[in-house]
Amino acid sequence: MASDTDTASPEPRRRRWRGPPASRLGRLIFALNLLGLAILIVGALVLNELRRGLVEARIDSLTTQGELIATLIDQAATVGEPVPALDAARASEILRLLANPGVQRARLFDAQGQLIADSDWIADRVEQKPLPPARPRGSSAAEPTKSPPSSPGREALRAEVARALEGRQISGLRQADPDGRVVSVSFPIRHVQAVLGVLTVEAGDVDSIIARERAALIPFILLSIGVSLLCSALLTSLIALPVRRLARAADRVRLSRVRSISLPDLSRRTDELGDLTRALESMTNAQSERMGAIERFAADVAHEIRNPLTSLRSAVETLDLVSEPEAKARLNRVIRQDIQRMDRLVTDISNASRLDAELSREPPRPFDLGRLLEEIVQTYTASRREGEPQVTLAGAPGETPVVGREGPAGQVFRNLIDNARSFSPPGGTVRLVLDREAGWAVVFVDDDGPGIPPENLETVFERFYTSRPKGTAFGGNSGLGLSIARQIVEAQGGTLAAENRTDPAGERSGARFVVRLPLRPGA
């Protein structure tokens, strides 16, 4: 039974982010997807701290060595009074003795920024730089050629030396030639207040340090990739494959046109897929039961219509053979009664077939049950003819709010009142009593008829069951009224039952139908 819900609204609602879904499967998806990223972030943070510590340690080492060399040059390689100057020969000798060309490179610059000593000269290292472009064929040797542009490493070194000549110690990472970076510390060589030169000490193994750090990051990357692949495989096995199996099971039902569905054994799972499996099982079971009910209803309809048709056909075939006016009149009455019975059957069958759609189309709403009963009783009172049973209402005054569908609920009580009036004697009374019982609104519908045999207290709610008192017009009842009433009450979360009233002597004094509907919460 599909339900129609009104999803249209005059203004679109803005959906607010409420965080990750509060479900096991949702939390699992978020956790697995974030796990690999967390591993990579932690690895990067750890290695970033390691690199920063290595660079700072190298700067401290170069600072210690450079301060020693700069102090010795200041003490032993400065000459001149009152204007001091740097003795380049002595300074070069001190640099040669104290520098460690195998690990660091030390260079000495004068006050004009010109290089006067380099530890690479001592180690006989050859400075490599790109050659100028070849002259075009046919050009003269005297023709000037463009000098190659200054490299970024040289410009960075000049800038560092210039800043150190201002009297400040400079340290940090610096661009080097041909490509790469070095850890460099530049010290101004002072004599009193005069800056006589700059000593630059640098270590060129920073690129190898970074390369080792990157190599150390590879395990974290591989681990993150492995975790992501594992998470993907888990999500595929936990979500994608079961959903595909459920979809294929539903396709088998659609293609083979069977009632039942053979679902994968996922009902033991406690997540959303387990809920989905159980919901599909319940849905298919309900659908199977509904299809069975439709088939039984169709069989009952065919059986009930076949009876008046058989009687009608027999009466029509006999009518031509009968010549007596009294017999013809009797056959005509039978024909009219059969036609009336078929008309009543078709009307009630049409109402019963539309019942599910009407119940699903109208959403449950609160309404006042007492007001509804008052309106129904007033309608019967206004249309009552002489000799017909009267309908009365009694019960607790005030509002009795229930949750349900007001239109179908009115049909329930009209069916019950009509049934009670048909069994009541002329001039009798059909009494409606409204009461409350622990969250329920209870309505009693009593009549003064012969009552119901005890073995038929449940049978009366079956489709097409009818047992009318003598003298009732033939074909006036289809046996669907009580069945429809119970179906409506149960669809609204209530109950409908039948029982007998007894007098003080214990004899049946009439029938009673008890309707229970849930009260509105808080009422």
The arithmetic mean of pLDDT across residues 242-255, rounded, is 76
pLDDT score of 194 more than 60: yes
| Nearest-angstrom CA–CA distance, 290 and 282 | 12
Q: Angle of helix 325-361 relative to helix 481-491, nearest 10 degrees?
A: 0
Q: Tell me what pLDDT residue 285 has.
A: 77
Q: Tell me what pLDDT residue 457 has.
A: 85
pLDDT band at 149 (very low <50, low <70, confident <90, very high): low
Select from 284, 297, 281 the least CA-distant residue to 254.
284
The upper half-sphere exposure of residue 46, i.e. CA atoms within 13 Å in the direction of its Cβ, equals 11
pLDDT band at 83 (very low <50, low <70, confident <90, very high): confident
| Nearest-angstrom CA–CA distance, 111 and 109 | 7
Q: Tell me what pLDDT residue 438 has.
A: 84
| Nearest-angstrom CA–CA distance, 420 and 409 | 17
pLDDT band at 128 (very low <50, low <70, confident <90, very high): low
H helix or E strand, kind and range, residue 184: strand 181-191
Q: Tell me what pLDDT residue 157 has.
A: 87
Mean pLDDT of the chain: 77
Which range has the top average pLDDT, 15-19, 123-127, 201-205, 391-395?
391-395
Q: Dihedral through CA 24, CA 29, CA 32, CA 37, nearest 10?
A: -140
Q: Write out pLDDT tens, residues 21-54.
A: 455 666 677 777 777 777 777 777 776 666 677 7
Signed CA dihedral, 449, 454, 457, 462: sign only: negative
pLDDT score of 379 more than 80: yes
Q: Which amino acid is at 382?
A: A
The arithmetic mean of pLDDT across residues 319-340, rounded, is 82
Q: Tell me what pLDDT residue 326 has.
A: 85
Q: Is pTM beyond 0.75 here?
A: no
Range from 152-161, 293-302, 499-508 carrying the lowest mean pLDDT? 293-302
pLDDT score of 127 more than 70: no
Q: Which one is predicted more confidently, 302 or 523?
A: 302
Q: Which amino acid is at 154?
A: R
Q: In 168-206, which positions are buried (b, 16+ CB within 10 angstroms) versus exposed (e)?
A: eebbeebbbbeeebbbbbbbbbbbeebbbbbbbbbbebb
Alpha-helical regions (H) of 127-271: 152-164, 206-235, 241-256
* End-to-end C-alpha distance for the chain, whole angstroms: 30
Select from 495, 522, 519 the least CA-distant residue to 437.
519
Q: Which one is predicted more confidently, 272 or 390?
A: 390
pLDDT score of 82 more than 70: yes
Q: Tell me what pLDDT residue 7 has.
A: 37
The arithmetic mean of pLDDT across residues 494-511, rounded, is 87
Task: Order the strands of the 181-191 sheet from edge to edge.
Answer: 115-118, 105-110, 194-203, 181-191, 170-175
pLDDT > 70: what percent of the chain? 76
Q: Tell me what pLDDT residue 468 has.
A: 54
Which own/partner contact pairs does 67-72 have at CB distance under 8 Å and 24+ positions apart? 67/187, 68/98, 69/94, 69/95, 69/98, 69/99, 69/106, 69/199, 69/201, 70/187, 70/188, 70/189, 70/199, 72/98
Q: How many CB atoms lie within 10 A of CB 141?
A: 6
Residue with tokens 């009798």: 428
Select from 265, 242, 243, 261 the least CA-distant residue to 252.
261
| Nearest-angstrom CA–CA distance, 468 and 341 | 14
Q: Which one is predicted more confidently, 512 or 302?
A: 512
pLDDT score of 5 more than 50: no
pLDDT > 90: what percent of the chain? 9
The arithmetic mean of pLDDT across residues 359-376, rounded, is 83
pLDDT score of 469 more than 70: no
Chain centroid, CA 435 distance in Å: 44
Residue with tokens 């009439």: 510
Q: Tell me what pLDDT residue 24 has.
A: 65
Q: Which one is predicted more confidently, 141 or 447?
A: 447
| Nearest-angstrom CA–CA distance, 178 and 130 | 9
Contact 97, 77 (CB under 8 A): no
| Structure tokens given for 343 | 């008309």
Pairing of strands 78-79, 170-175: unpaired
Q: Dihedral through CA 202, CA 203, CA 204, CA 206, nearest 10?
A: -120
Q: Tell me what pLDDT residue 427 has.
A: 82
Range from 1-5, 328-332, 391-395 carrying the lowest mean pLDDT? 1-5
| Structure tokens given for 103 | 């690990």
Q: Tell me what pLDDT residue 353 has.
A: 66
| Structure tokens given for 121 | 């000269």
The arithmetic mean of pLDDT across residues 121-131, rounded, is 57
pLDDT score of 12 more than 80: no
pLDDT score of 324 more than 60: yes
pLDDT band at 4 (very low <50, low <70, confident <90, very high): very low
pLDDT score of 15 more than 80: no
